[in-house]
Structure 1
Amino acid sequence: MPAKSASALHILEHVFGYTAFRGEQEAIVGHVASGGDALVLMPTGGGKSLCYQVPALMREGTAIVVSPLIALMHDQVSALVEAGVNAAFLNSSLDAESARAVERALYDGSLDLLYVAPERLMTPRFLDQLDHLRDTNRLALFAIDEAHCVSQWGHDFRPEYLQLSILPERYPSIPRIALTATADRQTREEIATRLRLGEARRFISSFDRPNIRYTIVEKDDPRRQLIGFIREEYPSDAGIIYCLSRRKVEETAAWLQEQGVNALPYHAGLPQEVRAEHQNRFLREDSIVMVATIAFGMGIDKPDVRFVAHLDLPRSIEGYYQETGRAGRDGLPAQAWMAWGAQDVVQQRRMIDESEGSEEFKRLGRNRLEVLVGLVEATTCRRQHLLAYFGESSAPCGNCDNCISPPQTWDATDAARKALSCVYRTGQRYGAGHLIDVLRGESTEKVVERGHADISTFGIGSDLDEKRWRTVFRQLVARELVAVDHERYNALTLTDLARPLLRGEAEFLLRVSTEKTRSRSRRSAARLDIPGGIPTTLFDSLRAWRAALAKERNVPAYVIFHDATLREIALARPDSMAALGGITGIGDRKLEAYGEDILKVVSETG
């Protein structure tokens, strides 16, 4: 291991095998290593872990990493140990003797990083150990991974994360870094408030995952559409399929097995040992397709997931982004595929309305659903819509279904202008439901009471039904011509982007709803057929060598090397240890441990 005085770049290259930082990584590492607090938002696959692992190796003492999932701890510690780092975890999977051994190593100061669950960290016994480290100047930093778990609005909420606010009070001089792959503005502020990181420096990376293709189709025999997608695009690759209900998970997994797909079910209702076995197989075997509810996925560090499919509409754009982000973590081509239908929207609305949440919770849930429906109905670039939700602008991506095969549209320019006029004439104080009543000329009690039966926009939209008007308003919001005022019960207000349309300088096109959708994406651009002219035989040989080694060491294959590293080896065909050491992802420890074996595989494979 490099000395604690080693530079960030030295550690990055010699421990982790990378020659340069990406994006904001270097700035984050420098800030935290020098003792600053940080709130980091970085997409899955963007290299969040390095943002605290490198400072941990630069600062004196042990870094404490708070992680919510046992599986994630195991994999990250295994990967660090493979790289030659003194790392360990402390959780309920350890027996008493093993846990005591980790505690002794922590007390002795021989660990660089220790991963713990939040509930373990908050025990008096563990806090006493942290006090000892602090008092002997051997507490390096606190890293709070999956920080969105502190948000009570999210489906990953963990109550024990709220207790982490004690850290700045008890250890005020120890830097903290909170990290998450996805958080909208509201969740971002909640993280800062609840973890007392209001003064922390914020690092917000681009949310774009350019290697992921987004494809959304209307349901038309969704099982047939799903199996067609898998057989056409990813017949022998790992993937995740999300379903809304446990019953649908089990039925879909069983059906896929009948179709010859190596599929496994995963949901919270399965026995714990079955869930553990299925997750273990997914992580350690190639070509496993996991069919799951959203109970599966957070913290899954498998880099070679080639596709994420949704057979039901997710609950929000944030959830969709988080779930689809589990594809293509290695940076190689991957795809997010979804089949949706109007019934999905009805079902989601019913679930929100019948939930036990407060009216505020239900109101936010309905709004998030409407924004998501705006994405699936979009006629323009999917990625632009997705990134706009996180406050990021972009050009059309050329790598989504709408960019590749623009959909049929109808000219809704006149309808959109009427809708905008109605928003203005009613004072920009009402939600879509009331505005639609006005446009359609519905003399409801509230329309009459508010005097809206007498304004110029009353009844001017009677030619469109309520469903079509809702589509118009969703797209006005999605395209940011209209904003939602959450403080006034989802009242719609005009934005500056509405001006060109109102002045007759822009058009407004909407997707034509099709009864039958038999869309097939263009395989060549999204499929991972060993791209870039890689010698398939050598790549396969390297994967086979890695698989045997991973089985022997009882770790996931990607803990040894990512596919991207094997791909680079296969392309470069290094013939010396020096040449092999220049491959991305091969640090000093891995070069020493595996270099001769890799060179042998390369030399023996034609």
Structure 2
Amino acid sequence: MDLHSPLKKFFGFNKFKGLQEQVIKSIVNNENTFVIMPTGGGKSLCYQLPALMKEGTAIVVSPLIALMKNQVDAIRGISEHNGVAHVLNSSLNKTEVAQVKEDISNGITKLLYVAPESLIKEEYVTFLRTQTISFVAIDEAHCISEWGHDFRPEYRNLKHIIKAIDNVPVICLTATATEKVQEDILKTLGITDANRFKASFNRANLFYEVRPKTADVQKDIIRFVKQREGKSGIIYCLSRKKVEEIAQILQVNGIKAVPYHAGLDAKTRVKHQDMFLMEDCDVVVATIAFGMGIDKPDVRFVIHHDIPKSLESYYQETGRAGRDDGEGYCLAFYAYKDIEKLEKFMSSKPVAEQEIGHALLQEVVGYAETSMNRRKYLLHYFGEEFDEKNGDGADMDDNSRNPKKKHEAKGDVVKLLSVVKDTLQQYKSKEVVNTIIGKENALLTSHKTHLQPHFGIGKDKTASYWMALIRQVLVVNYIRKEIEQYGVVKLTEEGEKFMKNPTSFMMTEDHSYSEENDNNIITNAKSSGGAADEKLVKLLKDLRKRVATKQGVPPFAVFQDPSLDDMALKYPINLEEMSKVHGVGEGKARKFGKDFVKLIADYVDENDILRPDDLIVKSTGVNSGLKLYIIQNTDRKLPLEDIAKSKGKEMNDLIKEMEAIIYSGTKLNIDYAIDDLLDEDQQEEIHEYFMEAESDSIQEALDEFDGDYDEDELRLMRIKFINEVGN
């Protein structure tokens, strides 16, 4: 089944991201599907595209009214008919509800966004029962699990409601889920047979930093935001009072900031959210409790004034930065007394809930205090391995940039593992540490642990030393935490091997936090643009803002940044050319393209710009027969020399033809030819050069490499580069 033409037709993309294609196939084949895909991975497209392709209406259950509104706007932006997507929730009046029902009955509505509370209403269930439903998508599915960071009791009931409406396939999506939460979701919905897809949780463009929270934290935040003037950011605080206070301090300091929390009336909340989306303010200060359903791709920083209650919340919230793969800086301020405050809040909850809460909090403490690669720590929490030397984004955190001291701890690891083993693997970390340092308590006494020879075996060191060691040993998988009896520490096979044959273990010493200097600012996260015409990009951004305001949609719902960059490379001057721009497609070109094409045409005239299409035609005169011949034979992996010879061309001419093909947006895979010329490291070196380069000029590349590579090698690598990155 070809999914590429609908993808191009509806969304203007030429290729899928990550696991999208496999997920969509599963849904189109009417199979239950479970998707774990981090924020920014293109989750919503997974159900939007099949919904547009299939007969009937897809029901999307989502907890966030703001997010529904965003998505409906975006889908309406690519369709001729406004009724293609609707929201059904408490904010609608009778007339609006009637309109929604009419559009569904007439087969116009492809996506119906519903809050779980609304889906319970008898009148809606009765109506939906009579309609053709294509499938049910449950977004933010972690809300089903009480182990999730955002549990909603009304989600537990969804299984019965779906059955009552129709026996249709279910697709659940979540941006964060540990194994415990995954099992819980599938069981509760009764879809343990679902196809499971789990994307990597690594967001390589995000930079993670944790700073000590001092009395000067507000100054630190102001300094940080001022250094990023004009960039969008979110600041999370734990209490409404703090939100108001920080928003006010920022305003006084000349920063355009607005507060956002559940205590504001709905009208103000919507207004503040729209100001952020429309770029009328730069910073939103929000409560962690309030899930900001904000689908803004160019949030450049997320600051946690207070550390969140779980690593999942933290991952979810930091994940709102840099969704366009551009710069994203995640800064958290940490003080242990904040953790104690959170623990005090918890003491009023039922015991079972307190236990879950404490276990989740300890993971956060571990992350904040760790001195190892933060990305590795975070990914390990979600059950993913990460190579901190060569992994994507390996040096994008404070610990990797400023490594801490290490010392040999082989003997201590053996002590730790033997205590876990000798206490019969029945204790959580805290009890293991108490055993090692010889601290008696009722639990240890009841198991007679205090009488064992290993009791107090490591009392020469502090409890926090052993805690830190446990965290580091966990991450290298010598021990693991039990899922069913959550938090109980068990030995792994690797741990058993280590005990039999101990090897070196360099333990990283925990931070002695010192005041960080202000120059520690990261500016080299991948920027989203290639060598675009900066002046034109600025004009296009201004136009986008005007069009967005007129249409009442956020700027990125008109065109995303990468599309504007592409326009400033290709200079499209009619709608047909516009539909070939990255991320545009026919529907969008028709809907928004007119003003942009006019602006570009005027700009090209006024500045005497030679457009790349003119260049291609003049320099190569690509005829379609030759183009087809090249595409077919590179697909067959025929040596490039043979392709050139058979058409009576020099290598130089063939490369020119291939450049024309690739710059017109057509894919061309010549990896096989390059693999014969250059090894992996050489390819990576050239790839990185083009990634960072200001322009794709071959002369500049030749100067840069100073004779390491010849012109043909660089031109072929440029083709491969554009093929991967641009097309």
Q: Quote the Cα distance in structure 2 between the aligned partners of 1:402 and 1:603.
A: 49
Partner residue, 2:194: 200
8 Å CA contact 2:33, 2:172 repeated in 1:
yes
Give 1:274's aligned amino acid.
T
Over 3 Å counting, the alpha-carbon distance change for 1:580 and 1:491 in structure 2 is same
8 Å CA contact 2:119, 2:161 repeated in 1:
no
From 368, 385, 397, the equivalent of 1:376 is 368
Alpha-carbon shift at residue 266 of structure 1 (Å): 1.6
Partner residue, 1:53: 48
Partner residue, 1:436: 433
Partner residue, 1:394: 386
Alpha-carbon shift at residue 437 of structure 1 (Å): 2.8
From 312, 326, 349, the equivalent of 1:356 is 349
User: Quick check: 1:130 aligned with 2:163?
Assistant: no
| TM-score calculated relative to the size of structure 1 | 0.91
Partner residue, 2:539: 541
Aligned-residue sequence identity (percent) comes to 37
User: Quick check: 1:226 aligned with 2:226?
Assistant: no
From 544, 550, 553, the equivalent of 1:552 is 550
Q: Quote the Cα distance in structure 1 between the aligned partners of 2:486 and 2:540.
A: 57
From 424, 438, 448, the equivalent of 1:427 is 424
Partner residue, 2:674: none
User: Quick check: 1:28 aligned with 2:13?
Assistant: no
Alpha-carbon shift at residue 449 of structure 1 (Å): 5.0
Question: Deviation string for 1:534-575 (max 9, x for gaps)?
Answer: 333222111110100111111111111112222222233334
Q: What secondary structure sits across from 2:524 in the alignment? A: helix
Partner residue, 1:521: 520
8 Å CA contact 1:569, 1:583 repeated in 2:
yes
Q: Quote the Cα distance in structure 1 between the aligned partners of 2:446 and 2:153.
A: 45
From 278, 297, 302, the equivalent of 2:296 is 302
Alpha-carbon shift at residue 404 of structure 1 (Å): 2.5
RMSD: 2.4
Deviates more, 1:463-472 or 1:334-343: 463-472
User: Quick check: 1:464 aligned with 2:428?
Assistant: no
Partner residue, 1:508: 506
Over 3 Å counting, the alpha-carbon distance change for 1:498 and 1:287 in structure 2 is farther
Over 3 Å counting, the alpha-carbon distance change for 1:447 and 1:177 in structure 2 is closer
8 Å CA contact 2:325, 2:526 repeated in 1:
no
Q: Number of matched residues?
A: 593
Question: Deviation string for 1:315-346 (max 9, x for gaps)?
Answer: 11111111111111222221211111222232
Alignment of 1:44-193 (within 5 A): 44-84=39-79, 86-133=84-131, 138-193=132-187
Give 2:168's aligned amino acid.
I
Question: Deviation string for 1:392-432 (max 9, x for gaps)?
Answer: 11212222222223234455544333322222222222223
Deviates more, 1:317-326 or 1:119-128: 119-128
Q: What secondary structure sits across from 2:87 in the alignment? A: strand
Q: Quote the Cα distance in structure 2 between the aligned partners of 1:253 and 1:595.
A: 37
Deviates more, 1:59-68 or 1:309-318: 59-68
User: Quick check: 1:281 aligned with 2:256?
Assistant: no
Alpha-carbon shift at residue 576 of structure 1 (Å): 4.6
Give 2:174's aligned amino acid.
T
Over 3 Å counting, the alpha-carbon distance change for 1:447 and 1:90 in structure 2 is closer
Q: What secondary structure sits across from 2:130 in the alignment? A: helix
8 Å CA contact 1:306, 1:335 repeated in 2:
yes
Alignment of 1:202-351 (within 5 A): 202-220=196-214, 221-232=216-227, 234-285=228-279, 287-351=281-345
Over 3 Å counting, the alpha-carbon distance change for 1:216 and 1:499 in structure 2 is farther
Question: Deviation string for 1:479-518 (max 9, x for gaps)?
Answer: 4332223544633222234357544312232334324231
8 Å CA contact 1:35, 1:175 repeated in 2:
yes
Give 1:323's aligned amino acid.
E
Q: Quote the Cα distance in structure 2 between the aligned partners of 1:190 and 1:98.
A: 36
From 10, 13, 23, the equivalent of 2:8 is 13
Q: Quote the Cα distance in structure 2 between the aligned partners of 1:122 and 1:292.
A: 30
Alpha-carbon shift at residue 38 of structure 1 (Å): 0.9
Q: Quote the Cα distance in structure 2 between the aligned partners of 1:121 and 1:348.
A: 34
Alpha-carbon shift at residue 360 of structure 1 (Å): 2.6
8 Å CA contact 2:206, 2:321 repeated in 1:
yes
Over 3 Å counting, the alpha-carbon distance change for 1:159 and 1:411 in structure 2 is same
Alpha-carbon shift at residue 78 of structure 1 (Å): 1.2
User: Quick check: 1:40 aligned with 2:35?
Assistant: yes
Partner residue, 2:449: 452
Q: What secondary structure sits across from 2:134 in the alignment? A: strand
Alpha-carbon shift at residue 80 of structure 1 (Å): 1.0
Deviates more, 1:513-522 or 1:545-554: 513-522
Structure 1 alignment gaps of length 5 or more: 1-5
Partner residue, 1:583: 581
8 Å CA contact 2:370, 2:510 repeated in 1:
no
Q: What secondary structure sits across from 2:197 in the alignment? A: strand
8 Å CA contact 1:379, 1:509 repeated in 2:
no
Deviates more, 1:8-17 or 1:446-455: 446-455
Partner residue, 2:619: none
Partner residue, 2:713: none
Q: Quote the Cα distance in structure 2 between the aligned partners of 1:105 and 1:489.
A: 48
Q: Quote the Cα distance in structure 1 between the aligned partners of 2:271 and 2:495.
A: 53
Over 3 Å counting, the alpha-carbon distance change for 1:111 and 1:448 in structure 2 is closer
Question: Deviation string for 1:455-484 (max 9, x for gaps)?
Answer: 343333222223333333333334433222
Partner residue, 1:571: 569
Deviates more, 1:466-475 or 1:243-252: 466-475
Give 1:570's aligned amino acid.
A
8 Å CA contact 1:373, 1:474 repeated in 2:
no
- Larger RCO, structure (CA 8 Å, separation 6 or more): 1
Q: Quote the Cα distance in structure 2 between the aligned partners of 1:287 and 1:361.
A: 38
Alpha-carbon shift at residue 12 of structure 1 (Å): 0.5
Alpha-carbon shift at residue 375 of structure 1 (Å): 1.8
Partner residue, 1:598: 596
Partner residue, 1:3: none
8 Å CA contact 2:532, 2:569 repeated in 1:
yes
8 Å CA contact 1:88, 1:113 repeated in 2:
yes
Partner residue, 2:471: 474
Q: Quote the Cα distance in structure 1 between the aligned partners of 2:510 and 2:383.
A: 28
Partner residue, 2:402: 405
Over 3 Å counting, the alpha-carbon distance change for 1:490 and 1:392 in structure 2 is closer
| TM-score calculated relative to the size of structure 2 | 0.77
8 Å CA contact 2:237, 2:306 repeated in 1:
yes
Give 2:9's aligned amino acid.
H
Q: What secondary structure sits across from 1:28 in the alignment? A: helix
8 Å CA contact 1:297, 1:326 repeated in 2:
no
Deviates more, 1:464-473 or 1:29-38: 464-473
Deviates more, 1:499-508 or 1:303-312: 499-508
Q: What secondary structure sits across from 2:238 in the alignment? A: coil
Over 3 Å counting, the alpha-carbon distance change for 1:423 and 1:334 in structure 2 is same
8 Å CA contact 1:371, 1:478 repeated in 2:
no
